[in-house]
A = this chain, B = another copy of it.
Amino acid sequence: MAAHIPVESASVDSALVGSTDAAIASGSTLLPIEEIARRMGIGRGALQLHGDHIAKVDVGAIDGFADRPEGKLILVTAMTPTPAGEGKTTTVVGLGDGLRRVGVSAAIALREPSLGPVFGMKGGATGGGYAQVVPMEDINLHFTGDFHAVGAANNLLAAMVDNHIFHGNALELDPARISWRRAVDINDRQLRSIVDGLGGPKSGVPRDDGFEITVASEVMAILCLSRDLRELKAKLERIIVGFTTDDRPVTAGDLKAHGAMAALLKDAIRPNLVQTLEHTPAFIHGGPFANIAHGCNTVAATRLALKHADYVVTEAGFGADLGAEKFIDIKARMCGLTPAATVVVATLRSLKMHGGVAAADLAREDLDALEAGLPNLLRHVENMTEVFGVPTVVALNVFPTDTAAELERVELRCRALGVSVVLSEVWARGGAGAEELAHEVITLAEQPSTLEYAYELEDTIVTKIEKVVTRIYGGADVSFTLDAQEQLTRLERLGFGQLPICMAKTQYSFSDDATLRGRPEEFTVTVRNLKISAGAGFIVVLTGTILTMPGLPKVPAAETIGITDDGRITGLF
C-alpha cells in the first residue's frame, strides 16, 4: 500500500467562492504531475507526460506491480437521476479528497468526458465547484486522445469490412447482415441512419449503415475491460462484424484487422493520471455511457489505482440500476474486483422529481414530495445491500437551494428506515464537505461483506434478463419482440449463452418507460432486440427506444464555447 500522504488545504483562491466551475478551476494551483505520481510511489520512468499536469502511466514500467497488495474499492452510484445528474462525479472527487483529509491514502478513478455532451447539453464532466479534477479544459477537450484512438480503431475495422466486400468478398459477408457501425465522438443525429457506398461501382457497395457515438462502440467497452495489451488484442480479434448468408459469424480476426486496431490503441490502454483541486491522484480513463454501454472506467485504471492507494473511489454511470448493476455483474465479475462499500448519491431535486414535482418547480421546498420520492432511493439502496451484498451509505449531495427542513426530513426518514445517510457538501467545500462521508465509508469498508451477483453466468439469457428486471428494476415481467426472440435462439445456438448481459435502458426510470418515476411496480420490460458483443464479452439487451447516437439540442453548448487569442478556453462548464 502507498504510504500516507499529507493533505494540503485546498489551494484555491477563497475569493472565488460562488464563482463558476471554470473560474474556480483556473484559480487553483496544480502540482506537477510527476509529484502527484511520486507521492503515490509511481516513478518518472513509468510516466508518459502530456504537458505538465497530465500523464499516461505505463503499468509495465512499475516494478513488482503484480505483487502489490490492493486497496479498498468504493463504488459511487446514484438514485434515478434528473437530466442534470445528481453529482456522482463531484461526490467521487470530494470523497477522494475527504478520505485524504481524514488520514488515509486515496485515489479516484473516473471516466473520460465525451465531446458529445461537452458540445451538446451537459457541458464538461470533471466535477464541479470545489470538487473538480483539473486541468478541466484539457480533460474535457480531447484529453490524451483516447476517444479518438477508439474511434479510429472502430472506423479502421469498418473500412476494412467494406473494403473486403469491395475486393471480392472472399469471406462471403452478407452486406445485409453487417452489424459493425462507424463511430464519431460528437452528437450527430444526421448520421444515425445512412445509406453508404453510393456513387457508382468504384465507391463501394450500397447498403444500410449508420454511426454511433464513440462511447457506445464495442471498442470502447473492450478498452475498458482489458487488463493489458494481450487481453486487448484477444478481445479485438473476437469482435463479430457481421454474418455470412448462412449465418456464420465473421470476426475482426478473420479480416486481419485486430493487430492494426491494437496498434492504434497502444497509448489509449495506458491509464491517464491527473489531480483534484486538492491534489488527490485522479485516474481518468475510458468512458462508455451507462445507458447504452457498460458505464465504467477502465479496469486498467481501477487496478492501477488500487495498487497505489488504500482507498479508491470510482463511479458507475447514471443510476444504480444501470451503472452499478453493470459494474458488479460485468466489470467486477469479469476482472476480479470487489467493492468494499457503495455510496448512493441522492439530491433533493431528484427526490422531489420522483415525488411528482415538475422540473420547473424542483427548487421549491416541498416536504411531502420529498417523502413521496424516497422509495426510488430506497430501492437503489436495497439493491446494493440486499441483492449485491455491499455495505452502503446514502450521500445527500447538498445544493445551495436546499433548505434545512428538507435536508432534515430526508435524514430522519432514512434513519428511521435503517438507511445510513450523510450530508455531502463537496461542491461548496471540497474535501472538507465529505469528511463525515469519508468516516462512514471507512467504517462500512471494514465490515465483512460477500459480493453477490444479480444473476449467474450459467443462467439462460432469458433468465439473466428476468433476474435483472425483477430483482434490480422491481418489474413484474419481461416480454420479447419477435426480433428479440429470434436473436435469443440464435445467440444461444452460436454459443454465447454464458456471457453476462449489458442492459440498454433509459436512465430516467427503473422501467423501460422514461416517464415512470419513483419506484414503479408491476411493469413489464420489453426487449426489442439483442446484440452480441463477442469481443467485449457480453450480450447487449436493447429495451425501449435507446439511441446509440444522441442529437444536439436547439442551442448547443458549442455555441458559447470559445478561446481567447492567448489560448484561454471560455464558456466551458
Query: Does B571 lie within 8 Å of A259, measured CB to CB?
Result: yes
Q: Which of B167, B559, B570 contacts A554 (CB 8 A)?
A: B167
A193 contacts across to B, CB distance below 8 A: 196-200, 203
- The interface-forming segment of A158-166, A286-294, A383-391, A458-466 is A158-166
Could you tell me the distance in whole angstroms from the C-beta of A47 to the nearest C-beta in chain B? 9
Interface locus among A226-234, A471-479, A530-538: A226-234
Residues of A within 8 A of B (CB): 48-52, 58, 60, 115, 119, 137, 141-142, 144-145, 148-149, 151-152, 155-156, 158-160, 162-163, 166-168, 182, 184-200, 202-205, 209-210, 228-230, 233, 255-257, 259-260, 262-264, 266-267, 551-552, 554, 556, 558-567, 569-572
Contact in complex: B229, A266 (CB < 8 Å): no
Which B residues touch A259, using CB under 8 A?
558-563, 570-571
CB distance from A313 to the nearest CB of B (A): 29
Quick one: copies of this chain in the complex? Answer: 2
Contact pick for A229, options B168, B187, B567, B571, CB 8 Å: B567
Residue of B nearest to A258 (CB): B562
Closest to A256 in B: B559
Q: Find out whether the CB atom of B266 lies under 8 angstroms from the CB atom of A567.
A: yes
| A142 and B264 contact, CB distance less than 8 A | yes
Asked if A163 and B189 make an inter-chain contact with CB atoms under 8 angstroms apart, the answer reads yes
**Beyond A142-B267, A163-B552, A551-B163, is A228–B565 a contact (Cβ under 8 Å)?**
yes
7 A-B residue pairs with CB within 8 Å: A50-B50, A163-B189, A163-B190, A163-B556, A190-B204, A229-B563, A266-B569
Are B262 and A562 in contact, CB atoms less than 8 angstroms apart?
Answer: yes
Cβ A229 vs Cβ B566 within 8 A:
yes
Partner of A142, one of B149, B229, B556: B149
Given contacts A142-B152, A563-B266, contact A191 B196 (CB under 8 A): yes
Q: Which 4 A-B pairs have the closest CB atoms?
A: A259-B562, A193-B199, A148-B148, A190-B204
Closest chain-B Cβ to A397's Cβ sits at a distance in Å of: 29
Contact B257 A558 (CB under 8 A): yes
Collect the chain B residues with CB atoms within 8 Å of residue A142's CB: 145, 148-149, 152, 264, 267
For A163, the closest partner residue in chain B by CB is B552
Residues of B within 8 A of A182 (CB): 184, 191
Give Cα distance in the complex from A569 to B259, angstroms. Answer: 9
Which residues from chain B contact A199 at a C-beta distance below 8 Å?
Answer: 192-193, 210
Q: Which of A166, A551, A570 neighbours the largest number of chain B CB atoms within 10 Å of its CB?
A: A551
A429–B145 CA distance with the chains assembled, in angstroms: 36
Choose one: B49, B230, B554, B572; the contact of A51 (CB below 8 Å).
B49
Contacts A51-B48, A189-B202 given; does A260 touch B558 at CB 8 Å: yes
Seed contacts A49-B52, A162-B189, A260-B562; 15 additional CB < 8 Å A-B pairs: A50-B50, A145-B148, A148-B151, A152-B185, A160-B558, A166-B190, A182-B191, A190-B205, A191-B196, A192-B198, A229-B563, A229-B565, A233-B562, A256-B558, A256-B560
A206 to chain B, nearest CB (A): 9
B residues less than 8 Å from A162 (CB atoms): 188-190
* Shortest distance between the CB of A376 and any CB in chain B (Å): 28
Q: Could you say which residues of chain B place their CB within 8 Å of the CB of A159?
A: 186-188, 190, 552
**Which of B48, B190, B260, B552 makes the CB contact (< 8 A) with A559?**
B260
Chain B residues whose CB sits within 8 angstroms of the CB of A197 once the complex forms:
190, 193-194
A546 to B141, CA, bound (A): 34
Most B Cβ at <10 Å: residue of A156, A162, A188, A202: A156
Question: Nearest-CB distance from A191 to chain B (Å)?
Answer: 6
Which residues of B have CB within 8 Å of A563? 229, 233, 259, 262-263, 266
User: How far does the alpha carbon of A197 sit from the alpha carbon of B211 in the complex, in Å?
Assistant: 11
Residues on the B chain within 8 Å of A264, using CB: 115, 141-142
Partner of A155, one of B186, B267, B570, B571: B186
* Interfacial chain B residues near A50, Cβ < 8 Å: 48-50
Q: Chain B: which residue is nearest A148 at the CB level?
A: B148
Decide yes or no: A160 and B190 within 8 Å by CB, A229-B565, A264-B141 being known contacts. no
Residue of B nearest to A554 (CB): B167
Given known A115-B152, A141-B264, contact A194–B196 (CB-CB < 8 A):
yes
Q: A49-B50, A262-B563, A562-B259 are in contact. Are A204 and B186 (CB under 8 A)?
A: no
Q: In the complex, A56→B263 CA distance in Å?
A: 23
How far apart sit A511 and B52, CA to CA, in the bound complex (Å)?
A: 50
Known: A184-B155, A190-B196. A263 touches B203 (CB 8 A): no
A194 and B192 contact, CB distance less than 8 A: no
Closest to A45 in B: B52
Interface centre among A193, A229, A260, A551 (most CB of B within 10 A): A260
Identify which of A188, A191, A192, A229 gathers the most chain B CB atoms within 10 Å of its CB.
Answer: A191
Cα(A220)–Cα(B570), bound, Å: 23
